[in-house]
Structure formats: structure tokens, C-alpha cells
Amino acid sequence: MERRSARSCGLWMGELAPGLHNDITDVPGVLVGHVSLIKGYGPLIPGVGPVRTGITAIRPHPGNIYREPCQAGIHVMNGFGKSLGVPYIQETGLLNSPIFLTNTLSVYDAAQGMLTYLLQENPEIGHDARTPNLVVFECDDSYLNDIRGRHVKPWDGILALNRASTGPIVQGSVGAGVGMCLFQLKGGIGSASRIVPSQGKEYRMGMLALTNFGHLEEMLINGVPIGLMMKRANQQKMLCQVPGSLILVGMTDAPLSCRQLHMLAVRAPLGLGRTGGISRMGSGEFCLMVSNTGLEFAAPLSDWDLDPFFQAAVEITAESIWNSLFYATSMAGRDGHLCQALPIDEVLSWMG
């Protein structure tokens, strides 16, 4: 079954025009790298496998992020998560590390890798300079993956950082998304972008989602309760049990302050709502928004110029989530667990 973006299937994805690749790397300077770990099959043997996990690194700009931090805002939609680095961003409005996405029990291994990387790059840390705040987000991929095995190692994180490059990026069952489930189907990594007109200029804004939440009957595609229809038609024999969570990382080249980026992050649930998400109990949902254009280089926009950015934030949240569904491929994991890809053609035929 060929995978393709929701937009390429003819679905309406919003008013604003997407960027060149329609992914987060349309924001100049943003780099993304994946490391996918897929190994073994059969029954779960903790510490051995099967391994269905990975790590995704996002770098806001190619420079030294510790020395050139970015304005950032974070919105905790549902705090049931074990992500690292949240209070510092809430206090200071700054991001001074790369961003990792991985599985819940590997956040500390991932952080170890990032710390080694940053210490090496910045000999002043902990000597005569302050420590960075490491940002690692997570979802629980234990339905498919031997999560107890902690198979993501520090060097996988460093590898993902080194692999990070411009787009277009690979989406679906890749990197941190290898073992994730969305609406009891296969989820993972999705992305989208918009060109945002404001005050006579054009800015870029992009989102990357790691999706791992929801029940099939909640799934909406362009407002149509396809999930409910699939469930009633008994199309899906095997539905994965979802431990939940959604991570959203947004980037823009607009010179926005941390307070304004927080306003953008707060709009993410409006996009999540379009996909049918109800933020179930146990679903850790965070949205981080980052600007990679320092306020020293451009005057920040007025709050009254933000409406097109709000529109973009809502649209790319929804489109990223849908793209993770449209791009992801079926994945079998531990104990015979199978997470099936969205049957795109049937869905499209039902949507008329």
C-alpha cells in the first residue's frame, strides 16, 4: 500500500499555502535527523526485544544552540508525561539545547547522549558557565516495542544529531515514530508547514508531530467520523491498545517573543480537536513552539499581527497528525502485536 500525504489525497488541509516540502524543514535553518531501531520478532523478552523504537532529533538552527539560544514557548495540554526540560522553558522562554523525541523509558539515555554532545561542543559548561536545559520528549511505544530493554542508547541520540539535515524529511514509522500508534492504527512522525503572510512579509512555520494517542472511534478526517465507520464496519480485526501521548514541536522564522510563541502553542489543541483527539486520561500532550530568528535581529511583531500565525498553528497541528497516519506503514511488534496502517484507499472511497 503506497503511502502519501493527506494533502496529496485531495483532502482539504486549510486556507494557508504550505511551504516547499510541507514539512518543518521549510523553516530555514531547521534540521531533522532520525535513528530507527527495528530488530527481532516474536514474544517479548525484556532486554532482548523485539525492538521497535527510535529517536528523532530536531535542531532549530545549524549553529551552537547552547550559545545562541532561541525564544520558545511551551503549552502543557495534558501533563501526564515524562518529558524533560519543561519548567526551564516556562520560566525563561528560552531553548538552549536541541530537541529529542523518543520512547518513555529512553529519555534518560537520550539525554545522556545530548549532554555528552553539548559538553564536548562547549567546554565552558560547568566550568565558568551555566548548564544547558536538555529537552527530551517522549511517547510510550510499549505496545510494539520492548520498552523495558531501553534500546535507545546515548550514541543513538548523538547519531540522530549528526544525521540532522534539511528536508524533505521522512515521515511515518521512522525515528521516534517506529513504534507509535494513532487512533489504534499506525502513527509516528508527521509534519506540515505554512507560508504565513503578516505585515507585508512572508514567514515560514512548520510543525513536527509524534503521534501515539486515541481510540479508533474518535478519529475524524476532515470532520468525517471515519474511525467510527471503520469500527462499525469491523474493518480492523486487530486494534492496538494505546498508551497515549502526543508531542508537537513547532518552528518559525518569524521574530516572535517567548510570550507570543506561548500564545501559538496554546492554539495547538484547536488543531488536535479537528482530528478527533479528546486528550484521554494518561495521554501526555505537549506543544513546544520555537522561533529561530533572534529578537536582536528584528523587532518582534505586535500581538495584533498574530492571527495568521494562529491560523497556521491550528492547520499544521491537524495536518501533521493526519500526515503521520497517512505516511505510517503497518508494523508488527512484540507478542504478535500488529499495528495496521490506515487503509487510505478505502478511507478515500468512503469520504466520497
Q: Rule CB under 8 A: which of 100-159 touch a second copy? A: 104-105, 108-109, 111-112, 115, 119, 123, 125-127, 130-131, 133-134, 140, 142, 147-148, 150
Looking at residues 254 to 273 of the shown chain, list those that interact with a second copy (rule: CB under 8 A).
258-259, 266-267, 269-273
Residues 6+ apart with CB under 8 A from 304: none
Region of 33-41, 85-93, 155-163, 194-202 interacting with a second copy (CB under 8 A): 85-93
Measured distance CA(117)–CA(122) in Å, rounded:
9
Query: Is residue 263 left, alpha or beta, with left meaning phi > 0 and alpha meaning psi from -120 to 50?
Result: alpha
The sign of the dihedral angle between the CA atoms of 321, 327, 330, 332 is negative
Query: Least CB distance from residue 190 to a second copy, whole Å?
Result: 17
Region of 19-27, 179-187, 213-221, 322-330 interacting with a second copy (CB under 8 A): 213-221
Query: Least CB distance from residue 259 to a second copy, whole Å?
Result: 6
Helices assigned H by DSSP within the chain: 86-92, 107-121, 154-163, 226-232, 258-266, 268-274, 307-327, 344-351
Q: Is 348 in the site for a second copy (CB under 8 A)?
A: no
Measured distance CA(257)–CA(300) in Å, rounded:
6
Nearer to a second copy, 57 or 105 (CB): 105
Nearer to a second copy, 25 or 245 (CB): 245
With CB under 8 A as the contact rule, the residue among 163, 310, 343, 350 that binds a second copy is: 310
Q: Which residues pair with 84 in a beta bridge?
A: 136
Looking at residues 271 to 300 of the shown chain, list those that interact with a second copy (rule: CB under 8 A).
271-274, 277-282, 284, 286
What number of other Cβ atoms are within 10 A of residue 8's Cβ? Answer: 11
Q: Is 235 in the site for a second copy (CB under 8 A)?
A: no
